[in-house]
Amino acid sequence: MMRAEVSIRSPESDPRRQRAAAIRALLQVPPLYKVVTFGQDPSDDDRTRRLKTMAVIVAVVMTLFSASMLFVPERSLFLRRLDVLIVAAEVNGLFWYWRIRTAPSLFYLVVPPYFAFMAFSALINGTTEGDHFAIMLIPTAAVVILGPDRALGWLAAALATLFAVYSLDPYLPHWTFESVRSVGHPDGSLFHSAYKQHPTFLEMETTIYATILFFFITRSAYIQLTRMGEQIKAEKAKVDQLMDAVYPASVSERLKVTDGQIIADDIPEASVLYADLEGFSRFTKQNDPQDVVAFLDAMFGRFDMLAEHHGVEKIKTIGDGYLAASGVLAEDTSDAADLCALGLDMIHAVQVLSKVHGVSIGVRIGIHTGPVMAGVMGRKRPHFDIWGGTVNMAHRLQATAPRNTIQISEETCGRVAGVFDFKHRGDVRMKGLGFVPCWTLKPTLLKAAA
């Protein structure tokens, strides 16, 4: 099938979309793309991908920062050895994350050694290098990656560590090592160098309060965003369900992924059924609107079930008319024979429902095969529709068909020959076309439709 899509994008773009597009383009740069997609699986949902991307970026930045400390000239041999250990631990964590491929695994593999290193570094340097600030941020990261409940343990660990850094500082041993000797530690003292700024009670108190504050702000925001995400997901599911009820499945999927585009397909061959209830106008005059609507709902509801049973696509209802087609969608495997089988079942359904309701209503059906165009029409209450000469011909065949009869064209006859039996009715005069050869379908199935 030939399918053409026509774009009608507005020349003025949303700045937010432009920024988002720029970020996506940046992340598509091969080196960056390999980093941000590291450890991701095709089965990951959008939230998991974002979480993994953020966790990987943070872990890579931490590893690069730790590695950069190896090149600081003033760094002592002792601290360089610690730097090598922490870098090795972080690289090992990234490797096992690549094997396990879950964001929490990356956190548990990378953060504990980093946490221990920051705590030990705070004991060595006090507040000089701001190691206590790194400890303060770990519970906040735990909220995002592990969730608000499992992060509580990391908050307790961070608070205990900060309290220990302050409380143990006066009691730390006066150890000296040659490997510790550096510009900041000229005497080789590990915990009591002149370079060290000993933590004060005010500094630790402020850091502890800030840790608690940042943690619960992040926790509250996480919970609110999670609830909003669940609400958005539920609303999206409702919208998707509504779209699937209004549009064919393939059209619904295309509408979800297109933005400001008209969906218009040129279909070389399809079969179209047009049905109209005979005697319905008299029925509407003799009955209340509620009874009329109830009857139509029952009738068209039955037609819908039959169309689904035969694999035929219902297009729309027009008053007391019913339009269906086969072969108009990419996933549609039905053909003219399925449409004829549907027409026969529709006649039977009308006869049964008319008898149940005690009314005299029949149906006329026309089927024609040929090229059609299909697409989504309109801006307000848009709908999937088909149009073209084939649809008009099906309508004319219906208009001239006898009561409770399916009238088909020569083109359709060629498609159902050998499957159904039909009778040549002769040339029938049709508006705008003159005399056209027509056939009526007999309710005799010669062989099962393929």
Q: Is 429 exposed, middle or buried (0-12, 13-18, 19+ CB in 10 A)?
A: exposed
Is residue 142 over pLDDT 50?
yes
**Rounded Cα gap, residues 340 and 271, in angstroms:** 10
Give the Cα-Cα-Cα angle 97, 99, 102 (nearest 5 degrees): 50
Average pLDDT over residues 251-275: 80
Give the Cα-Cα-Cα angle 33, 39, 41 (nearest 5 degrees): 95
More confident residue, 256 or 312: 312
The tens digit of pLDDT for each residue in 108-135 reads: 888 888 888 888 888 888 888 777 888 8
The tens digit of pLDDT for each residue in 29-65 reads: 556 667 677 788 888 888 888 888 888 888 888 888 8
Buried b (16+ CB within 10 A) or exposed e, 162-200: beebbeebeeeeeeeeeebbbebbeebbbbbbebbeebe
pLDDT score recorded for residue 12: 44
- Output phi, psi for 34, to 5 deg: -65, -35
Is residue 395 over pLDDT 90?
yes
Is residue 156 over pLDDT 90?
yes
pLDDT score recorded for residue 4: 42
The tens digit of pLDDT for each residue in 189-236 reads: 888 887 788 888 888 899 999 999 999 999 999 899 889 988 988 998
pLDDT score recorded for residue 15: 62
Is residue 9 over pLDDT 60?
no
Average pLDDT over residues 235-247: 82
Is residue 1 over pLDDT 50?
no
pLDDT score recorded for residue 5: 43
**Rounded Cα gap, residues 156 and 139, in angstroms:** 9
pLDDT over 90 percentage in the chain: 30
| DSSP label at residue 373 | E
Lowest mean pLDDT segment, chosen from 12-26, 153-167, 327-341, 405-419: 12-26
Q: Which domains does the chain have, with CATH numbers?
A: 14-243 (no CATH), 260-445 (3.30.70.1230)
pLDDT score recorded for residue 349: 94
Is residue 27 over pLDDT 60?
no
pLDDT score recorded for residue 214: 92
Lowest mean pLDDT segment, chosen from 16-25, 231-240, 276-285: 16-25
Is residue 368 over pLDDT 90?
yes
pTM of the model: 0.58
Is residue 11 over pLDDT 50?
no
pLDDT over 70 percentage in the chain: 88
Q: Is 219 exposed, middle or buried (0-12, 13-18, 19+ CB in 10 A)?
A: buried
pLDDT score recorded for residue 23: 55
Residues 433/424, Cβ–Cβ less than 8 Å: no
pLDDT score recorded for residue 450: 45
pLDDT score recorded for residue 2: 43
Average pLDDT over residues 335-359: 91
The torsion region of residue 327 among left (phi > 0), alpha (psi -120 to 50) and beta comes to left
Average pLDDT over residues 424-434: 88
Average pLDDT over residues 385-409: 93
| DSSP label at residue 446 | S
Is residue 19 over pLDDT 70?
no
- Output phi, psi for 404, to 5 deg: 55, 40
Is residue 424 over pLDDT 60?
yes
pLDDT score recorded for residue 3: 45
Q: Which residue has the tokens 């599911």?
A: 237
Beta strand extents in 312-352 (DSSP E only): 313-318, 321-326
Average pLDDT over residues 388-409: 93
Neighbours of 54 (CB within 10 A): 15
Mean pLDDT, the chain, whole residue set = 84
Is residue 67 over pLDDT 90?
no
Q: How confident is the model at residue 371 (pLDDT cuts 50, 70, 90)?
A: very high
The tens digit of pLDDT for each residue in 281-312 reads: 888 888 889 988 999 999 999 999 999 999 99
Average pLDDT over residues 78-107: 88
